[in-house]
A and B are shown apart, each in its own frame.
Chain A
Amino acid sequence: MSDTKKFLYVNRKAPYGTIYALESLEVVLIGAAFEQDVALAFLDDGVFQLTKGQDTAGIGVKNFSPTFRALGDYDVNKLYVERESLEERGLTEDDLQEIMYEDEDDDWAEKPSIRIVSRAEMAEIMAEQDVILSF
Chain B
Amino acid sequence: MSTLHTVNKSPFETQTLLSCLNHCREGDAVLLIEDGIYGGIEGSALSEIVKESAAGVSLYVLNEDVKARGIDPGRLLGEVSGVDYEGFVDLVTQHDRTQSWL
* Chain A, residue nearest B2 (CB): A127
Partner of B25, one of A127, A132, A134, A135: A127
Which chain A residues numbered 16 to 57 have a C-beta less than 8 Å away from chain B?
Answer: 20, 43-44
- If over half of B's interface residues share one DSSP class (helix, strand or loop), that class is named, otherwise mixed; here it is mixed
In the complex, the answer to whether A119 meets B99 with C-beta atoms within 8 Å is no
A12 to B3 alpha-carbon distance, docked (Å): 18
Contact (Cβ within 8 A) A123 B23: yes
- Quick check: B23 and A131 within 8 Å, CB to CB? no
Contact of B101 among A124, A131, A134 (CB under 8 A): A134
Beyond A126-B23, A127-B25, whether A134 also contacts B100 by CB under 8 A is: yes
Point out the residues of chain B lying under 8 angstroms from A130, CB to CB: 97
CA distance A23 to B17 in the complex (A): 22
Residues of A within 8 A of B15 (CB): 44
Output the nearest chain A residue to B6 by Cβ-Cβ distance.
A134
A129 at the interface (CB under 8 A from B): yes
Q: How far is the CB of A131 from chain B (nearest CB, A)?
A: 7
* Chain A residues packing against B (C-beta within 8 Å): 10, 12-13, 20, 43-44, 119, 122-124, 126-127, 129-132, 134-135
